[in-house]
Amino acid sequence: MTTNTNIQGIDTTNRDRIKIFDTTLRDGEQSPGCSMNLEEKLRIAAILEEMGVDIIEAGFPIASNGDFESVKAIAEQSTRSVIAGLCRANRKDIDRAWEALQHADGGQRARIHTFISTSPVHMKYKLRMEPDAVMDAIVDSVSYARSKVDDVEWSPEDGTRTERDFLCRVVETAIKHGATTINIPDTVGYMVADEYQELIEMLMNSVPNIDKATISTHCHNDLGVAVANSLAGCFAGARQIECTINGIGERAGNASLEEVVMAMRTRADRLPFFTDIDTTKIMKASKALGNITGFGVQPNKAIVGANAFAHESGIHQDGMIKNAETYEIMRPEWVGLTDSNLVMGKHSGRNAFKTKLAELGYTLADNQLNDAFQRFKDLADQKKDVFDEDLIALVDDTARANDTIKFEELSIHCGHKGPHVASLVVRVDGQRVPVTAEGNGPVDAIFNGFHKAYPHEANLKLYQVHAVTGGTDAQAEVSVKLEHDGWTVTGLGADVDTLVASARAYANALNRYIVKREKADSEVAAA
């Protein structure tokens, strides 16, 4: 007898395949402080594709020039995944999305995702449209999108709070006019699992042409049940889950990719589904995203938190030594965790360094590689053991090639009597700018130095230090959150010297602030 096993070793006979639609770069990026630049989005997209994500929602092309350019660049870079772009229900949005998406194999791997609100409260207050006008907009936008591409997804925003009869009618209309995927967003994260399951079941039983489309879940996590709701949706017949790495997204976030995928892998006995995700890439994706956005996950986060596989108590450790199955439902290596993350020391050469970086998902240009290698050598001189985490922190810091602000040198005068004085050298748009500034403590003096070198309006909201790894020679990782006009950006910096790490983190946050400010300006211009 032949068995069909997938990449995770799951026997797929009598199981339904669930497509994974990742929206980290669209819904995820919309969450406060999670904005990414082009190079960063390309890096995440490459990891998602390597993981086997079926559809990557790369952005909202009409939202800004930056969004357009990144959707286009991701479409060009991709080789396997379908690339989706979001649009409202109008032709201008669809044209702009198509302009970017047609670069995915000449449009062969392109998906247009168009949406409009359908709940009474959204139609009345947000859209100020009557239901009939919303229906007309659906007919026009879906058929227009379908005239561009065969793969069209349609979403009724706030679908779970939409009147049931109207929901059935809009879904039927969208399918009739060419939608091939129907997504049912729980936009405000209001549903509980049996209710969401019933809603999808109701659509499956009441919409006459429902078999012509794939049904998709899109659950927000306001009540902490987004993953449960998504799985419940699959029991009712949904065959696509929309989710994000680390569960990032608006407010409390979206369903987390690693949780839905690992639930299906680990509980294949209860869940008659499978995905084709290479789960061993999960940690890499999670860490890369955390490092890029400065938004790490809480230590007890399921699957990817630092404690997810840690067994602290004596009783648990004893059990684990005797047999890992006593307390472990998943093997750490399934998600890409290995014991051997001690990488290199000061005798490692440039080639080994380059190979290790490639394993961690980094391909650096020659000049960046030289800088990173030099910093690695300096670090290895100061620190006995260099771990993957150290390298990731170091490279993320070095690889910011297009940054406006570059930190170069720092010396500090401090002590219990003061004054606290920072002498900094930074480059602003390539120009060397030396500055000296005083402050209430060395960190304040450094940040005042940045204000002098590059005057700006952002205010410091948060300053945090933690150790990248254990030991007194650990690198300090500093995060700095800046706020301006109601939005925030987070910068990270790492170094064995906490003050140098602080300067790097501030420079990183400032660069994000500059990118975000440009994006905000171009969004205002596009509106």
Residue 456 CA to residue 226 CA, distance in Å, equals 39
Q: Which of the ranges 39-47, 181-189, 366-374, 435-443 carries the binding residues for ligand KIV, by CB under 6 A? A: 181-189
For residue 444, what are its two tokens? Answer: 């304040």
Write down the least CB distance from residue 190 to Zn ion, Å.
13
Residue 394 CA to residue 495 CA, distance in Å, equals 8
Write down the least CB distance from residue 517 to ligand KIV, Å.
24
Q: Could you give phi then psi for residue 401, rounded to 5 degrees?
A: -65, -35
Residue 150 CA to residue 146 CA, distance in Å, equals 6
Pair type for strands 431-439 and 420-428: antiparallel
Write down the least CB distance from residue 60 to ligand KIV, Å.
9
SS3 408: strand
Write down the least CB distance from residue 218 to ligand KIV, Å.
5
Write down the least CB distance from residue 275 to ligand KIV, Å.
20
Amino acid at 262: M
Name the residue nearer to ligand KIV (CB basis): 218 or 383.
Answer: 218
State the number of CA atoms in the 13 A half-sphere of 290 facing the CB. 21
User: Does position 388 bind Zn ion by CB under 5 A?
Assistant: no
Picked from ligand KIV, Zn ion, none, the partner binding residue 157 (CB below 5 to 8 A depending on kind) is ligand KIV
Amino acid at 248: I
Write down the least CB distance from residue 256 to ligand KIV, Å.
15
Residues in contact with ligand KIV, counted by CB under 6 A, come to a total of 9
Residue 485 CA to residue 450 CA, distance in Å, equals 20
Name the residue nearer to ligand KIV (CB basis): 179 or 500.
Answer: 179
Closest residue to Zn ion, judged by C-beta, is: 27
User: Does position 397 bind Zn ion by CB under 5 A?
Assistant: no
Name the residue nearer to Zn ion (CB basis): 40 or 157.
Answer: 157
SS3 95: helix
Q: Which of the ranges 40-48, 129-137, 183-191, 454-462 carries the binding residues for ligand KIV, by CB under 6 A? A: 183-191
In 236-372, at which residue ranges do the beta strands (DSSP E only) sit? 240-243, 273-274, 342-344
Q: Which of the ranges 163-171, 179-187, 347-355, 367-375 carries the binding residues for ligand KIV, by CB under 6 A? A: 179-187
Write down the least CB distance from residue 33 to Zn ion, Å.
17
Picked from ligand KIV, Zn ion, none, the partner binding residue 115 (CB below 5 to 8 A depending on kind) is ligand KIV
Write down the least CB distance from residue 23 to Zn ion, Å.
7
Name the residue nearer to ligand KIV (CB basis): 234 or 335.
Answer: 234
Site for ligand KIV in 200-229 (CB under 6 A): 218, 220
For residues 496 and 400, the answer to whether their CB atoms sit within 8 Å is no
Name the residue nearer to Zn ion (CB basis): 231 or 514.
Answer: 231
Site for ligand KIV in 262-281 (CB under 6 A): none
Closest-CA residue to 217 (of 253, 194, 243, 188) = 243
Question: Of residues 18, 20, 27, 516, which one binds ligand KIV by CB under 6 A?
Answer: 27
For residues 209 and 247, the answer to whether their CB atoms sit within 8 Å is no
Residues in contact with Zn ion, counted by CB under 5 A, come to a total of 1
Q: Which of the ranges 182-190, 192-200, 479-487, 496-504 carries the binding residues for ligand KIV, by CB under 6 A? A: 182-190
Write down the least CB distance from residue 25 to ligand KIV, Å.
13
User: Does position 157 bind ligand KIV by CB under 6 A?
Assistant: yes
State the number of CA atoms in the 13 A half-sphere of 236 facing the CB. 26
Residue 94 CA to residue 146 CA, distance in Å, equals 10
For residues 19 and 47, the answer to whether their CB atoms sit within 8 Å is no
Give the chain's end-to-end CA distance (angstroms, integer): 60
For residues 450 and 469, the answer to whether their CB atoms sit within 8 Å is no
Name the residue nearer to Zn ion (CB basis): 27 or 397.
Answer: 27
Question: Of residues 68, 115, 274, 454, which one binds ligand KIV by CB under 6 A?
Answer: 115
Picked from ligand KIV, Zn ion, none, the partner binding residue 155 (CB below 5 to 8 A depending on kind) is ligand KIV
Site for Zn ion in 27-46 (CB under 5 A): 27
For residues 341 and 392, the answer to whether their CB atoms sit within 8 Å is no
Cross-strand pairs, 482: 460, 489
Q: Which of the ranges 70-78, 144-152, 164-172, 180-188 carries the binding residues for ligand KIV, by CB under 6 A? A: 180-188
Write down the least CB distance from residue 287 to Zn ion, Å.
24
Name the residue nearer to ligand KIV (CB basis): 122 or 406.
Answer: 122
Q: How far is CA 285 from CA 24, 44, 50, 194, 291, in A?
A: 11, 7, 10, 31, 10
Task: Tell me how far the alpha carbon of residue 176 is from its chain's centroid.
Answer: 33
DSSP class of residue 127 equals: I
Write down the least CB distance from residue 236 to ligand KIV, Å.
19
Question: Of residues 8, 64, 119, 187, which one binds ligand KIV by CB under 6 A?
Answer: 187
Closest-CA residue to 487 (of 31, 20, 23) = 31
C-alpha angle with apex 84: 80 to 89, nearest 5 degrees? 160
Long-range CB contacts for residues 327-334, cutoff 8 Å, separation at least 24: 329/266, 330/262, 330/265, 330/266, 330/303, 333/280, 334/8, 334/262, 334/265, 334/279, 334/280
Residues that bind Zn ion (CB under 5 A): 27
Residues that bind ligand KIV (CB under 6 A): 27, 115, 155, 157, 183, 185, 187, 218, 220
